[in-house]
Amino acid sequence: MSTNSNDTKFISEARTLVLEELSNEQFGVSELADRMHMSRSNLLRKIKKDTGLSASQFIREVRLQEGMKLLKNTENTVSEISYQVGFNNNSYFTKCFREYYGFSPGEARQQQSQEPEDLDSEHNDPEHLSKPTQKTKKPVFVVGIVIVLILLVIVYKAFDWSSSQEPKNQIIEKSIAVLPFRNMSADSTNLYFVNGLMESSLNNLQKVEDLRVISRTSVEKYRNTDKTVPEIAEDLNVSYLVEGSGQRINDQVLLNIQLVDAVNDSPLWSEQYNYKIDNVFELQNTIAQKITEAIKAKVTPDELQRITKNPTDNLVAYDFYLKGIDKFKLETNEGLNEAITLFKQAVNEDQEFALAYANMAIAYFYLDLYKADKKYISELNNFADKALLYDSKSAESLMAKALYYINVNEYNFAIPHLEKALQYNPNSSAVIQFLCDIYSKVLPDTEKYLSYALKGIQLKSSSQDSISRSYTYLNLSNALIQNGFEDKALAYINLSLEYNPQNEYSSFLKVFIQHTKHENIKLTTRRLVKEWEKDTNRLDILQEVGKFYYMQANYDSAYYYYHKFDKARLANNLTYYIQEDLKIGIVYEKMGYQDRAKVLYQSFTEYCENDNSIYNSASLATKYAHEGDVEKAIEQLKIFSNQDNFQYWIVLFLEEDPLMKKLEGHTDFQPTIQKIKDRFWENHMEIKQILEKDELI
């Protein structure tokens, strides 16, 4: 951003107006445009030209600069200053300040920053002792299972990278959004056909790795928008927009389409096409070719072959297919069933129509979603196989087969199909979401989880409702903290809470992220208890509080919480957190409940026997330590020390387990623990280098 002395007259005037409204958190781009007596789009373009910033970035930086002045020249607290300069959240002010200046507001005053709201009155709350105990296998589930279950609800509303409030907001040069086409037909029933043209244009562009293409779900909200091109582009964080309108009259298709340079709000290319229906695929391929040429996107021969391959030669079948896709997008059981009927009509017309088979299989997957008893496994598998038979290089065919494996819990077989699907469609946010879910929950691998999460971010826009965006940031924050990226994890969890302050899963995760910063045991425990008090039905938090007391050998308090957890688990016949049964059993035994303790010990033994994850050896180490077999425990720790891509919680909390105290006298204990820590940070640096090379962080 230019300094004040180098400001143009226009920027100086804009700066003055922002300063006049400095404490008004509601003063944003629209308000500034009104005060400048100009349209929002003209304001965006002018500020971009003069400063290289978006309008929202410009306003934020003015606020931050004034915040720095107040830090230097007043005695006000950081919290007070954050509100004085228009930030309604102290933590968000701190995050933005750190990103702009490279250090925190507290460091700007050369003193250690604290969190005032949490550091006082700790002595009034008895629920605040030991360190959080995200240990061994447990970390996968503390912030893993709960978050992933939530995320499944929003499979197609996954990631976001482009909000003006985000830590990174650089427009990717070859980024494009295909806006919903307008139906110009007198017959409204032709809307499905016009939508199909838009969908096909989008799908063709998504096959080009050199492009970042915004997903359909992200652009759908602009179907009837009155926003200008620059405003939409800023929302979506793209360089180019495709606009179109079309109509179908008998066997003719009339399509008007233009490619717009969103930064300069100027058309790069526009054309009117009049094709017969039987040449509709030629029309779609021509559009893709014109767009990629105009923005100089590199299209490989393989990509060109996939783009130009006609999905079917039967136009009646294709018509049924387009109608089916239109129903599929309703995302309701009724819509899915109607879509399946139409897809079946399509394959009746063309029995080698791979795309119709694939989408039929995917529809069956969603009909079975969240159901304990899967009704459509055979249909899903059958139609996925047919899709692959007739087009093995289709991303949709591969995804359909992957969903079959997911439905039958054979995730190792799902992964290669998903990865191959991503090769054929590098812009598939749905495929990336499934890979994230698998690597965060089922087959834990922190490196792959984070890598796919960050890639997915580039494929989603900011056009989500606040609730979806909150869960988007929650998921990314979880992936980041598992890999030890503390600052970025905290920034994204704060954003999650900005968009939905009632997101209790985000505030829960934030407790653990904050602990990595201050490692204040009392503060962390008190925060955790507060999270449980928001909803005392949260078994995940309940067992965490019990575990905190266990870690301090405060067995009376641990029993109070563990007993509540165990009782609820038994009452509801849940196999929930069985990886914690050893600790719970120890607490029961300490309190004199020997019989229940034995049951819990046996449960943990069975868990270890069936656990094939990378955390199995860490779990076995605690088992052998409890049984007094120090040599076997150390042996298992040594095995674990050779693992890669385990969660950060291991580094933080492994030694806090009282069972580890039994091993401290062994000569190999400390070297092995240090090797585990070194291994984690080596993985961390490798991941960081890879992500920086790919410009993902």
Gap between the Cα atoms of 152 and 134, Å rounded: 23
**Helix, coil or strand: residue 133:** coil
Q: Is the pTM of this model over 0.85?
A: no
* Tokens linked to 48: 């971009």
Closest CA to 535 of 563, 557, 505: 505
pLDDT digits (tens, 9 = 90+) for 198-243: 777 777 888 888 888 877 777 877 877 888 888 888 877 788 888 8
Q: Give the pLDDT of residue 109.
A: 67
- The residue ranking higher by pLDDT, 380 or 53, is 380
Q: Which residues pair with 269 in a beta bridge?
A: 259
pLDDT higher than 50, residue 483: yes
Q: Give the pLDDT of residue 643.
A: 92
pLDDT higher than 50, residue 149: no
Distances (CA, A) of 366 to 371, 381, 405, 417: 10, 13, 14, 18
Alpha helix positions (H), 1-89: 9-20, 29-35, 40-51, 55-73, 78-84
Closest CA to 43 of 33, 52, 54: 33
**Which three-class secondary structure string do you get for 346-401?**
HHHHCCCCHHHHHHHHHHHHHHHCCCCCCCCHHHHHHHHHHHHHHCCCCHHHHHHH
Average pLDDT over residues 393-421: 93
Gap between the Cα atoms of 374 and 382, Å rounded: 15
For the domain made up of 4-113, the CATH class stated in words is mainly alpha
How open is the CA angle 213-219-223, to the nearest 5 degrees? 140
CATH topology of domain 489-692: 1.25.40
pLDDT higher than 90, residue 582: yes
- Residue 370 banded pLDDT, cuts 50, 70, 90: low
Average pLDDT over residues 298-306: 86
Residue type, 136: T
- Residue 165 banded pLDDT, cuts 50, 70, 90: very low
Q: Give the pLDDT of residue 439.
A: 87
Query: Which of left, alpha, beta for 390 (phi over 0: left; psi -120 to 50: alpha)?
Result: alpha
For 414-448, give the DSSP string: HHHHHHHHHHH-TT-HHHHHHHHHIIIIIS--HHH
User: What DSSP designation does 649 have?
Assistant: H
How open is the CA angle 318-319-324, to the nearest 5 degrees? 95
pLDDT digits (tens, 9 = 90+) for 244-281: 888 877 778 888 888 888 877 888 888 888 878 777 88
- The residue ranking higher by pLDDT, 537 or 589, is 589
Closest CA to 435 of 650, 210, 148, 686: 148
Burial of 107 (0-12, 13-18, 19+ CB in 10 A): middle
Gap between the Cα atoms of 556 and 187, Å rounded: 73
- Residue 556 banded pLDDT, cuts 50, 70, 90: very high
**Which three-class secondary structure string do you get for 401-420?**
HHHHHHHCCCHHHHHHHHHH
Gap between the Cα atoms of 319 and 323, Å rounded: 6
Q: Give the pLDDT of residue 347.
A: 95
Q: Provide the mean pLDDT of the chain.
A: 81
Which sign, positive or negative, has the C-alpha torsion 612, 615, 621, 627? negative
Domain boundaries, the chain: 4-113, 169-310, 489-692
- Residue 135 banded pLDDT, cuts 50, 70, 90: very low
- The residue ranking higher by pLDDT, 632 or 206, is 632
Residue type, 222: Y
Architecture of domain 169-310: 3-Layer(aba) Sandwich (3.40)
Distances (CA, A) of 348 to 94, 254, 338, 344, 550: 61, 28, 16, 6, 63
- The structure tokens 């008893």 sit at 373
pLDDT higher than 60, residue 317: yes
pLDDT higher than 90, residue 671: yes
Gap between the Cα atoms of 215 and 178, Å rounded: 9
Q: Give the pLDDT of residue 239.
A: 85
Q: Among 130-139, 169-178, 193-202, 230-239, where is mean pLDDT lowest?
A: 130-139
Taking a C-beta distance cutoff of 8 angstroms, is the pair 27, 18 a contact? Answer: yes
Q: Give the pLDDT of residue 227.
A: 83
